[in-house]
A and B are shown apart, each in its own frame.
Chain A
Amino acid sequence: MDVSEPGAGELTVVISEDLCIYEIAQLHDQLLPRLAGGQKIQLDLGAVAECDSAGLQWLLALRAWARSSGVTLSFEPLSDAVRELVDLCQVQSLLGLQTVIPADMGAC
């Protein structure tokens, strides 16, 4: 995980590890102290090769925290592995992502 501050109150977090049960506690512990003071946080998940339910739940927990603390949090970009799970669990709107409707499901 690589955390950078492109500007004041801005935070870019690049995650290259798997977002799975084995990694998640460590990622959480690393990120938590860095979040203080961040107003605009971007999580770059483009390099995440594996993502499980624990990983997805962590993203949702971050999102819930951001919303309640008035922090702007975006997940951009998403790797295929993350996207697959997001679609499977249909949590696009919960994560503040643009809803991508799979073609086979038709319009809602």
Chain B
Amino acid sequence: MAKTVCVVDDSSSMRQLVRMTLSGAGYDILEAVDGQDALEKLGARRVNLIISDVNMPRMDGISLVKALKQNAMHRFTPVLMLTTESEDAKKREGQAAGAKAWIVKPFKPDQLLAAVQKLIM
């Protein structure tokens, strides 16, 4: 059964990159433009992994993680955060909130795929 990854990013090109990389490897993709959108789209639909940007309008990545950890439907779902080098403080905040996996932008597609596969394979 194909595993589903939800990608949350306000940049459509980033979502595109993630989609192309992962669907090529057999993953189903669910896209959301920000935290709020992700929570709505996820709803009662459980996915195997959530990949989220940190800085997004309406609801940022950290808030999303916090919300997911409070949500019985999604609290154990791994979250892979996409971050830049400059967001180290954010990273710690995110880790405290429960996002244990991080990948630093810019990344190459195979780096992303490797990170995803380590988490859900």
Chain A contributes a number of interface residues (CB within 8 A of B) equal to 4
Contact call B1/A49, Cβ cutoff below 8 A: yes
Chain B contributes a number of interface residues (CB within 8 A of A) equal to 3
Contact call A50/B1, Cβ cutoff below 8 A: yes
Contact with B along A1-39 (1 / 0, CB 8 A): 000000000000000000001100000000000000000
Q: At the interface, yes or no: B41 with Cβ under 8 Å from chain A?
A: no
Q: Tell me the residues in window 59-87 of chain B with beta carbons closer than 8 Å to chain A beta carbons.
A: 76
Contact call B1/A21, Cβ cutoff below 8 A: no
Dominant secondary structure of chain B at its interface with chain A: loop
By beta carbon, the residue of chain A nearest B3 is: A50
Contact call A22/B1, Cβ cutoff below 8 A: no
Contact with A along B43-57 (1 / 0, CB 8 A): 000100000000000
Q: Which chain A positions have C-beta within 8 A of B76?
A: 21-22
Quote the shortest CB–CB distance from A46 to chain B (angstroms). Answer: 16
Quote the shortest CB–CB distance from B11 to chain A (angstroms). Answer: 30
Q: Which chain B positions have C-beta within 8 A of A49?
A: 1
Quote the shortest CB–CB distance from A101 to chain B (angstroms). Answer: 23
By beta carbon, the residue of chain A nearest B73 is: A22
Complexed CA–CA distance, A50 and B76 (Å): 15
Complexed CA–CA distance, A49 and B1 (Å): 9
List 5 A-B pairs, Cβ < 8 Å: A21-B76, A22-B46, A22-B76, A49-B1, A50-B1
Q: Which residues of A contact B (CB under 8 A)?
A: 21-22, 49-50
